[in-house]
Amino acid sequence: MLSPRISWSHPRRGTENRSGGCLCGGVRFEVTGSPLWVAYCHCASCRRHTASPVSCYAGFEPSRVRFLTATPATCKLSPGVARSFCNRCGTPLTYESKRFPGEIHFFTGTFDEAEQLEPNRHVFWHDRQRGFEVHDPLSRYGRNSSRHGARSRSTGCSLYAREIRLEAFWRRPR
Ligand SMILES: [Zn+2]
Ligand SMILES: [Zn+2]
């Protein structure tokens, strides 16, 4: 069942520092301060990009992010959207979109202490992989998920449409 209201503030705001990186260590980064939000994303694009049933992201302000080694490679499959990854080991690292200029979304699994980034919602719940069961008490957001964990309440319908188009692209016979 989808939750009717969204509480956008993350409960753990503070001033901590975090570090992380890819599997091979070729890309390392540091982030200052707490995340804007932490969320599971069930969208079809993230599922394909990570080859996993669900992704988990933490959103940070770009000014608080510093890459200590090589900057990651990026792939741009949708207008205004960039997904970054290590071009040596392939680890997916971040998601950025022109629609959300004040945010960079990091996969929580890339952090050295990933368990400290505790998700507080599921987004794109309507798009989840069938048969993948989730029994936690967190809120679920569907077509109104305007991003991986938005603070605004815009409907996000165009983003949803983009995800559907991308899914159709992958399903096209070739
Ligand atoms: Zn790597
Ligand atoms: Zn997603």
- Residue 28's SS3 state is strand
Ligand 2 geometric centre to CA of 146 (Å):
10
Q: Does the structure show a pLDDT above 80 at 59?
A: yes
Query: Mean pLDDT throughout 92-115?
Result: 94
Higher confidence at residue 140 or residue 162?
140
| Ligand with the closest atom to the CA of 90 | 1
Question: CA-CA distance, 7 to 20, in Å (whole number)?
Answer: 27
pLDDT, tens digit (0-9, with 9 covering 90-100), for 82-94: 999 999 999 999 9
| 29 CA to centre of ligand 1 in angstroms | 12
Q: Which ligand sits closest to the CA of 26? A: 1
- Tell me the CA–centroid distance for residue 32 and ligand 2, in Å: 24
11 vs 20, which has greater pLDDT?
20
Nearest listed ligand to the Cα of residue 29: 1
Q: Are 155 and 74 in contact (CB under 8 A)?
A: no
Instruction: Quickly name the fold that domain 17-171 has.
Output: 2.170.150
Which listed ligand is nearest to 93 at the C-alpha?
1
How many angstroms is it from 41 CA to the middle of ligand 2?
Answer: 5
Q: How far is the C-alpha of 35 from the C-alpha of 102, rounded, in Å? A: 12
- Beta carbons of 20 and 28 less than 8 angstroms apart: yes
Say which ligand is closest to the CA of 91. Answer: 1
Distance 1 CA to ligand 2 centre (A): 19
Residue 45 pLDDT greater than 50, yes or no:
yes
Residue 73 has pLDDT above 70, yes or no: yes
Token code pair at residue 162: 């983009």
> What spacing in Å lies between the alpha carbon of 100 and ligand 2's midpoint?
14
- For residue 47, CA distances in Å to 42, 71, 152 come to 7, 23, 24
DSSP structure string for 65-134: EEESSPPPEEE--STTEEEEE-TTT--EEEEEETTSTT-EEEEGGGBTTGGGS---EEESGGGPPTT---
